[in-house]
Amino acid sequence: MPAPVLFLVSGLTLYAGAAVAVGLFDRLGATTVSWWRIVLAAVVLLAWRRPWRRRWTRRDLVSAALFGVVLAAMNIVFYVAVDHLPLGVAVAIEFLGPVAVAAVTGRGWQERAAIVVAAGGVALLAGVTLGSGIPREDAVIGLAAVLAAAACWAGYIVLGKRVAGAGSGVDGLAVGMAAGAVAFAPFFASSTATVVTDVPLLLFLLVVAVCSSVVPYVLDQVVLRRVGMATFSVLLALLPATAVLVGAVVLQQVPTWPELAGLALVSSAIVMTART
């Protein structure tokens, strides 16, 4: 299957799951929902892949574990962001991470110019957000969280490429998810009694885990084995439009024209980093 098609499927499931998760924030809180997404995704992946059957080197285990911790951190701060910002805006600003990776790993003037274009798009989106009627405190928290998510996303691409290149692929993802869940357990494990005794809530969290973690991150590993980091970052340009579409249909977050302009600039920056 062509990589762009894989990305389209990945984006639709990823942000559909995020839209479902938003509805659970009032019951558990954004960060707790995100942690349960990682926990249940780890359970699904471990049951499916059974990574203990393969032979691991210490280096591969460390790489997978570090990848998983960064992935878990990315998910947690991103859910904080979408709890305070529209989904499409949060996704677009988060793209500073992939743009930075593409600019550093790519070659030529286009990659460097892409940083300027992306910064313009992010500045436009941030300005619109601060002046859009969202409480200023929410906007500041959301922007800080999404910038942290962008840094984690850059780390996710670099470490994910290392895991995929080592040949562990989805098995490494399973190990990493488990490591990420354990790393943040001291902060969120107190919600266990609430979740496991509420079957409908647990099922909704399972839907979020499968849609927003299992499917898209497995597909990421498939694509990362086939393309370089710069090309992977370019393909991510398909995701802002997907996020805007899901946000408009599911959450009724219809973007304004300035927001669409900012989204277009960010997507253009990703495309500019493409190599022949």
Higher per-residue pLDDT: 239 or 193: 193
User: Span 145-173, mean pLDDT?
Assistant: 85
pLDDT band at 111 (very low <50, low <70, confident <90, very high): low
Would you state the torsion angle of the CA atoms of residues 15, 20, 24, 30, taken in this order, to the nearest 10 degrees?
0
| pLDDT value, residue 274 | 55
Whether residue 12 has pLDDT greater than 50:
yes
User: Span 36-48, mean pLDDT?
Assistant: 94
Higher per-residue pLDDT: 249 or 106: 249
Distance of CA 35 to the CA centre of its chain: 13
Q: How far is CA 168 from CA 41, 60, 105, 117, 236, in A?
A: 17, 8, 23, 36, 23
Q: How far is CA 199 from CA 73, 193, 204, 226, in A?
A: 26, 11, 9, 39
Question: Quick check: 82 and 18 in contact, CB under 8 A?
Answer: yes
Question: Quick check: 59 and 218 in contact, CB under 8 A?
Answer: no
Higher per-residue pLDDT: 139 or 270: 139
The structure tokens listed for 223 are 């694509």
Statement: the pTM of the whole predicted model exceeds 0.85: no
Question: Quick check: 90 and 78 in contact, CB under 8 A?
Answer: yes
